[in-house]
Amino acid sequence: MGNSETKLNFRKAVIQLTTRIQPVDANDDAFWDQFWTESVDNIQDVFALVPAAEIRALREESPSNLATLCYKAVEKLVLASENGCHTDKEHQIVLNSARLLTRILPYVFEDVDWQGFFWTSHKPVPDSEAQENATPLAQSLIMAISNLLFCPEFCVVSHHKKGSPDKADDVVTGSDSCEYIWEAGVGFPRSPPTNSQIDLNRTELLKLLLTCFSESIYMPSSQNTTYNNKWIEFFCSAENFHVLPMFTSLLNVVCAYDPVGLGVPYNHLLFRDYREPLVEVACQILIVTLDHTSKSLEWSDCDYGSNVSLHSVPTSSKPGGNSNLFINYVSRLHRDEDFAFILGGICRLLNNPLQQTYLPGSVKRVNFHQELLVMFWKLCDANKKFLFYVLKSSDVLDVLVPILYHLNDARADHSRVGLVHIGVFILLLLSGERNFGVRLNKPFSAAAPTDVPAFAGTHADFLVLIFHRVITAGHQRLQPLYDCLLTIIVNVSPYLKSLSMTASSKLLHLLEAFSTPWFLFSAPQNHHLVFFLLEVFNNIIQYQFDGNSNLIYTIIRKRHVFHQLANLPTDSTSLAKGVNKTRGRKVSESSSFSSDRLGAKNVETDSKDDIAEPSVISTTLAATPHLQHITSQYPNEALSEQRDENDRESVATDRPQYPDQNSKLTSSFETVSTEADWTPSVNWVHSWKSKLPLQTIMRMLQVLVPQVEKICIDKNLTDETEILKFLQHGTLVGLLPVPHPILIRKYQTNAGTTSWFRTYMWGVIYLRNIDPPVWYDTDVKLFDIQRV
């Protein structure tokens, strides 16, 4: 009864505020205290008791009352942060104020006229000069949250016993907060005792902080590249004297989290895990702050003490520097033990969904793998030393396997297209380094719960098999990624010592599919996929011939594919046949796809009465950047032998000519109307057919096919085992063209992927925060909301 009466009193206060036409006096404490003194149990109740329609009505009809409510809530947080927060009543006031602001802020941000509200001071000050010099409300709010996150007995465990007369740590200021870092790890050796209520308090305040940062999603994507989020800029600047302990606390909490714990089966069903929501929102705060690059180049003096291993912030301005201290701290991490801690934590959490036991459902599963992948990307992007540490460590395979698992699992799901994209982007980044290709030769023994048939081979085989499934059985929206997938295989191909028969067959199957006339003539860029696959075969033949008898045998068996490609008809009659076949296929596939979608829609309509069910909501993504914009070519001499000038001249002469790499690799989904009117011409086919890099493969077939046929006839062979043994001991030394230099296409930072990651990141955060639905039903402009 008491709880119901409390909620009723809170609801009455909301109704009084929204129905009053006249402004409520800011000094009427009896009225305003109703919003934070009532014992509302959780944030879900606040969202239920303060409807969206009433917030909008308050904003439009009584703006002064909304402004006063925001000011009074911030004032309560500031007072608590300055005076300490020790009693249960003070805790309740802080939590209710934070919950109320979390509810209101999205509706402030969605209105253009209100977006600058928090960056002015709304406290009634009689002196106009004092009004001008007053601290903006946003800065007061950020500092109050930061202070409270290190407030003893509220968000950190006090160093003094309860009831002790020594209250020196009532209010933590300056470098003192480094003594209260939340978890052991980077720069902090001690692990404080866990406290479920403290974890809950941290989570509520971090939710408010994330809501403050979400102003970005109310800006159109066209403005997001130039928009500067002042909330994040101030939080990550030296003006926030908690910035270093805040960064290390968030990072350590995420990387130290172990959802399985001692491994007791079904323990997550018996006990509530208060740490997981904290880890999830901490990870979201990290990726949002690491995504923000401030335009300010001024760095301020700051000294955080010596107990944290990161150096103090540079005291002089540096041209081109970044005042986002979170990015600065990440870039200056260099100790192997820190890298091992971070990578170990990320791998542990990424591999959590892959764990299998004999007891179904006995192991706790975490679901914030998308945020973890974004975090991993940001760490590699900001700190190249960390990237190189990952690549030289065998743990890189512990990153690869869960990414491939998610690629396979999400390949046909329209709502998880973004997950496939980020997995491919990360693998493209890793594949640009030699160590990644070398690591792929490790035998694959992981029992990942995928529908890939069991096979004996290496991690490279697993990668090829998954990529083949994504291409052949993935959603049609993944077609823009085909060139990225094949580029990854091209990058690692010079280092693959032994592909299995299954993986070899899949690669040849892709070439067979991509080299058919109807596919080649269906889009102006499709022939690039053939060039990528031929480059894979050339790299392996030239540099890893000895151990790849399976691939060589498969090429010999499928030699008709290469002959057909070399003899591809280019006359106008053959082109017309290919175009007609292409159009017939497109109509058939379009009708089939439409009927499938219609059927799926009917099933969904019948089975889901509530269309607002969060599980059917997805967010749109920014356009996939073109391959030419996200990669650049670098020669790799690691495997190339030292040659004299004559050799180099012959390489330049004999090297296969590829299509112009600067030509636009346009996505089939971005130019549907253009391709509908496009017709292949004889000159167009000649322009790239003459550059097909078939010389090495044809020369190998010219040498080996007669030998294999002779062995089969002489020994009357019907088993491929003997042929494979012959190929294993064969050699092509002196028979092939001079090896071409290895070209590695490395990822390069660009505006396209930056925009894509920002849109994807906020889309994930939007969908993950549905309890309570922080941004649901607000006028988000960064992306569109879809129901799948």
Q: What is the structure's pLDDT at 123?
A: 59
Q: How far apart are the first and last CA of the chain?
A: 41
The C-alpha atoms of residue 583 and residue 570 are separated, in whole angstroms, by 18
Q: How confident is the model at residue 605 (pLDDT cuts 50, 70, 90)?
A: very low
477 versus 629: the higher-pLDDT residue is 477
Q: What is the structure's pLDDT at 359?
A: 62
At residue 336, does pLDDT exceed 70?
Answer: yes
* DSSP per position, 477-535: GGGGGHHHHHHHHHHHGGG-----HHHHHHHHHHHHHHTSHHHHTTSTTTHHHHHHHHH
Q: What is the structure's pLDDT at 632?
A: 79
Strands 617-619 and 631-636: unpaired
Residues facing 330 on adjacent strands: none
Peptide bond into 772 cis (omega under 30): yes
**Lowest model confidence (mean pLDDT) among 112-126, 373-387, 630-644:** 630-644
* Alpha-carbon separation of residue 626 from 480, 674, 688, 726, 753 (angstroms): 8, 17, 20, 43, 9
Q: For residue 291, give the nearest of 333, 233, 349, 348 by alpha carbon.
A: 233
Domain membership of residue 195 (yes or no) is no
Q: What is the structure's pLDDT at 298?
A: 36
Q: What is the structure's pLDDT at 132?
A: 56
Q: How confident is the model at residue 194 (pLDDT cuts 50, 70, 90)?
A: confident
Tokens of 347: 């791998």
Q: What is the structure's pLDDT at 69?
A: 92
Average pLDDT over residues 317-335: 78
Average pLDDT over residues 59-84: 91
Average pLDDT over residues 569-592: 62
Q: What is the largest CA-CA distance in the chain?
A: 106
Q: What is the structure's pLDDT at 498?
A: 93
The C-alpha atoms of residue 513 and residue 523 are separated, in whole angstroms, by 14
Residue 31's domain comprises: 1-148
**What percentage of the chain has pLDDT greater than the value 70?**
79
Q: What is the structure's pLDDT at 277?
A: 94
Average pLDDT over residues 499-528: 91
Domain membership of residue 423 (yes or no) is yes
Q: What is the structure's pLDDT at 1?
A: 44
Q: What is the structure's pLDDT at 716?
A: 74
Q: How confident is the model at residue 667 (pLDDT cuts 50, 70, 90)?
A: very low
Query: For 156, phi and psi rounded to 5 degrees?
Result: -140, 155
Q: What is the structure's pLDDT at 308?
A: 45
Q: pLDDT tens digit string along 522-573? A: 888 889 999 999 999 999 999 998 889 999 999 999 999 999 999 988 777 7
Q: What is the structure's pLDDT at 297?
A: 34
Q: For residue 704, give the nearest of 736, 680, 674 by alpha carbon.
A: 736
Helix axes 459-473, 482-492, angle to 10 degrees: 160
Q: What is the structure's pLDDT at 37?
A: 74
The C-alpha atoms of residue 587 and residue 196 are separated, in whole angstroms, by 59
Query: For 619, phi and psi rounded to 5 degrees?
Result: -115, 150
Q: How confident is the model at residue 591 (pLDDT cuts 50, 70, 90)?
A: very low
Q: How many CA atoms lie within 13 A of 783 on its CB side?
A: 26
Helix (H, G, I), strand (E, B), or coil: what is residue 156? strand
178 versus 204: the higher-pLDDT residue is 204
Q: pLDDT tens digit string along 426-467? A: 999 999 999 999 999 999 987 666 778 778 899 999 999 999
Average pLDDT over residues 182-191: 88
Q: What is the structure's pLDDT at 741?
A: 82
**What percentage of the chain has pLDDT greater than the value 90?**
44
Q: What is the structure's pLDDT at 233?
A: 94
Q: How confident is the model at residue 347 (pLDDT cuts 50, 70, 90)?
A: very high
At residue 314, does pLDDT exceed 80?
Answer: no
Cβ-contact 121, 135 below 8 angstroms: yes
Q: For residue 523, give the nearest of 686, 683, 679, 661 by alpha carbon.
A: 679
Q: What is the structure's pLDDT at 263?
A: 56
Q: What is the structure's pLDDT at 320?
A: 42
At residue 609, does pLDDT exceed 50?
Answer: no
Q: For residue 299, give the nearest of 275, 325, 276, 281 by alpha carbon.
A: 325
**Lowest model confidence (mean pLDDT) among 15-29, 216-230, 318-332, 351-365:** 351-365
Radius of gyration (C-alpha) of the chain in whole angstroms: 30
**Lowest model confidence (mean pLDDT) among 39-48, 238-247, 276-285:** 39-48
* Alpha-carbon separation of residue 317 from 228, 301, 320 (angstroms): 20, 10, 9
Q: How confident is the model at residue 589 (pLDDT cuts 50, 70, 90)?
A: very low
Domain membership of residue 665 (yes or no) is yes
Q: pLDDT tens digit string along 404-425? A: 999 999 998 888 999 999 999 9
Domain membership of residue 213 (yes or no) is no
At residue 124, does pLDDT exceed 90?
Answer: no
For 555-566, what is the HEC assignment? Answer: HHHCHHHHHHHH
Q: What is the structure's pLDDT at 608?
A: 35
Domain membership of residue 225 (yes or no) is no
Q: How confident is the model at residue 514 (pLDDT cuts 50, 70, 90)?
A: very high
620 versus 108: the higher-pLDDT residue is 108
Cβ-contact 631, 737 below 8 angstroms: no
**Cβ-count burial of 86 within 10 angstroms (0-12 exposed, 13-18 middle, 19+ buried)?**
middle
AA identity, residue 413: D
Helix (H) or strand (E) holding 381: helix 369-382
Quote the number of domains for the chain.
2
Cβ-contact 143, 150 below 8 angstroms: no
At residue 313, does pLDDT exceed 60?
Answer: no
Helix (H, G, I), strand (E, B), or coil: what is residue 762? helix
Q: pLDDT tens digit string along 140-175? A: 999 999 999 999 989 998 866 555 544 445 555 555
Q: What is the structure's pLDDT at 656?
A: 42
Q: How many CA atoms lie within 13 A of 624 on its CB side?
A: 25
At residue 360, does pLDDT exceed 60?
Answer: yes
Domain membership of residue 269 (yes or no) is no
Average pLDDT over residues 669-689: 67
At residue 395, does pLDDT exceed 80?
Answer: yes
Domain termination residue (choose one: 738, 753, 768): 753
Domain membership of residue 597 (yes or no) is no
Cβ-contact 155, 149 below 8 angstroms: yes
Strands 785-787 and 631-636: unpaired
Domain termination residue (choose one: 101, 121, 148): 148
Helices assigned H by DSSP within 110-183: 128-133, 137-148
677 versus 79: the higher-pLDDT residue is 79
AA identity, residue 591: S
Domain membership of residue 81 (yes or no) is yes
The rounded mean pLDDT for the chain is 80
AA identity, residue 122: H
Domain termination residue (choose one: 102, 117, 148): 148
